[in-house]
Amino acid sequence: MSIYQHFRPEEKEVIDQVLNWKDQVENTYAPKLTDFLDPREQHILKSIIGQHSGIQWDLFGGIPNAERKRALIFPDYYESDKDDFQICLFEVEYPKKFITLEHRQVLGSLMSLGLKRGKFGDILFEDDRIQFFVSEEVEDYIRLQLESIGRASVTLSKLPFAESIQTSEEWRECSVTSTSLRLDTVISAVYNISRQKSQLFIQQGMVKVNWTLIENPSFECKEGDMISVRGQGRSKIMGIEGKTKKEKWRIIAGRQK
């Protein structure tokens, strides 16, 4: 049975990448460190590598409950260590009294440096403090190049992981019904908005499923999917519990608090 059958067609590129990493470790008998992976990519990696004896994986993103993590794939003789993940933590220094910065501004400024998203880990906020994780190989480049975020001039200070902002994800569960598992109807049910509005959000490029932009309203949602709608927050499909007497799907969803 093909490994691709277990995943969505659009995930083929990630699957091929993971299979390539696996082969590399088997052939060289040496560890392989990846860029930062989003949780869906981590799931695919675990599913594929987990079936092969002789090869192990470990994930680390700087803090225990990091969302984006680097993966280390290694032969089973190897003992992995936090230093192997080559991650650096920066705190952003900016004129906090006069300016407020948002997550998208920080990410936008980092992306404008011409680096791939995979070079950056989580961006953390606590009150007016901002931190982010990066791969060590781009640490010096970012320190030199990142001079402003939004309209604020910034400088970066490097910190040990022990001084990182601690985040906790809390989900508020709710049960909703939806006429189908199409993305537009699921968004409409979970966020309690009209279907027209949910279609508009999708068409305007404001919706991601599993950290990937989806512009097709008929995209079919599955259990475990993470949905984010810009301006509306994130939700997660925790369970799909079959159909009601009126032939509607009963969905257990979590909304981020």
Do 145 and 176 lie in a common domain? no
List pLDDT tens digits, range 135-169.
999 999 999 999 999 989 999 999 999 999 987 77
DSSP 20-59: HHHHHHHHH-S-EEEEEE-HHHHHHHHHHHTT-TTEEEEE
Do 204 and 131 lie in a common domain? no
pTM of structure: 0.81
Tell me the torsion sign for CA atoms 121, 126, 128, 129: negative
d(CA 186, CA 119): 32
Q: Average pLDDT, whole number, for the chain?
A: 92
List pLDDT tens digits, range 54-85.
899 999 999 988 999 999 999 988 988 999 99
Please give the single-letter amino acid code of residue 23.
D
Is the model's pLDDT at 51 over the cut of 70?
A: no
Is the model's pLDDT at 170 over the cut of 80?
A: no
With beta carbons less than 8 A apart as the criterion, state whether 132 and 92 touch. yes
Is the model's pLDDT at 46 over the cut of 60?
A: yes
Do 23 and 67 lie in a common domain? yes
200 is in which domain, residue-wise? 171-256
d(CA 251, CA 238): 8
Domains in the chain: how many in total? 3
Do 127 and 180 lie in a common domain? no
Do 76 and 95 lie in a common domain? no
Do 7 and 72 lie in a common domain? yes
